[in-house]
Structure 1
Amino acid sequence: MNDETRSPSPRQRFFTRERRSVPAARAFAREALDAWAVRGRTDDVVLCVSELATNALVHGVPPGRGFLLRLLLLGDVVRVEVHDSGGGVPAVPSGPGGEPREGGRGLLLVSELADKWGVGERSPGKIVWCELGAARGGG
């Protein structure tokens, strides 16, 4: 594999359970995307990071803990992973008639913006991830 086809190293950072972690996670994602010269769908990736980080803080991070944000560039696909130590399996909630309920709009946004998303196992906790195709280039 030559340097042009090799994926750059994953970027990851641990965030504590506090409100300022969500904007810090967004800034971290933008820095990684800039470093990787990702130009397409940057705002979509950052919005998915924001929603998954918020969900981790609200539903998945017990007091005194935090979450790990991991970003990977796999060819022209950006993978966002949020690792937390909470239980449960996130899902897009639906109310009567399949309409989304008031809560859970974050995962609804992720499911609409991302090419795919899911939940993986972790001990303790889970990994909520999404993938978005994104163009790379100089401009």
Structure 2
Amino acid sequence: MTLYPEAESVARARRRFRKFLEPYDLSCSLDDCVLMISELVTNAILYGEAEEAWRVRVEWWQVGASLRVDVHNPGFPANVRMRQPAADEAHGRGLRLVNELASSWSAEPSPLGGTMVSFSMDGAWKV
């Protein structure tokens, strides 16, 4: 899915992802996956940057029994890091949530240019 870098795109990503995966009998929590999509798309919108118009790209697929999700933006991979927000800070916990909920996650240069942040849910599908 390709999204504009605007706040409404986060809800759009959640709806499309949920609609696509609801028919499957997943072994993992769909709500957890939707939450992680929200966090990664939000980060992509907040931290992606380019001189020309750009989009956020979200891809998901089955790899064996696992679900893999990639979120691409034109930001710099070196800028992706888990923060340690103060208790009174409203933001900065997205990657910590992904780290806790996903089987694994990574941030690396995107083959499309920019950054790709991914997560996997092992055993999401019964094989």
- TM-score by length of structure 1 reads 0.76
Deviation of 1:121 (Å): 1.2
Tell whether 2:80 aligns with 1:90. Answer: yes
Q: Structure 2 residue aligned with 1:77, among 37, 43, 66? A: 66
Deviation of 1:93 (Å): 1.4
Aligned position for 1:56: 44
Tell whether 2:52 aligns with 1:66. Answer: no
Cα gap change, 1:134 to 1:41, in 2 (>3 Å):
farther
Paired residue total:
122
- Secondary structure (helix, strand or coil) at the match of 1:104 reads coil
- Secondary structure (helix, strand or coil) at the match of 2:79 reads coil
After the TM superposition, which of the residue ranges 127-136 and 64-73 deviates more from structure 2? 127-136
Cα gap change, 1:36 to 1:73, in 2 (>3 Å):
farther
* 8 Å contact kept, 1:114–1:132: yes
* 8 Å contact kept, 2:3–2:57: yes
Cα offsets for 1:56-114 (capped at 9, x unmatched):
0011244731110001111221111101111143111136xxx7893420111111101
Q: Structure 2 residue aligned with 1:127, among 107, 116, 127? A: 116
Map 1:80-119; keep pairs closer than 5 Å.
80-87=69-76, 88-94=78-84, 102=89, 103-119=91-107
* 8 Å contact kept, 1:89–1:119: no
* 8 Å contact kept, 2:47–2:75: yes
Aligned position for 1:44: 32
Give % identity.
31
After TM superposition, which residue ranges in structure 1, 4 or more long, deviate above 4 angstroms? none
> Please, what is the CA RMSD of the aligned residues?
2.3
Cα gap change, 1:101 to 1:118, in 2 (>3 Å):
farther
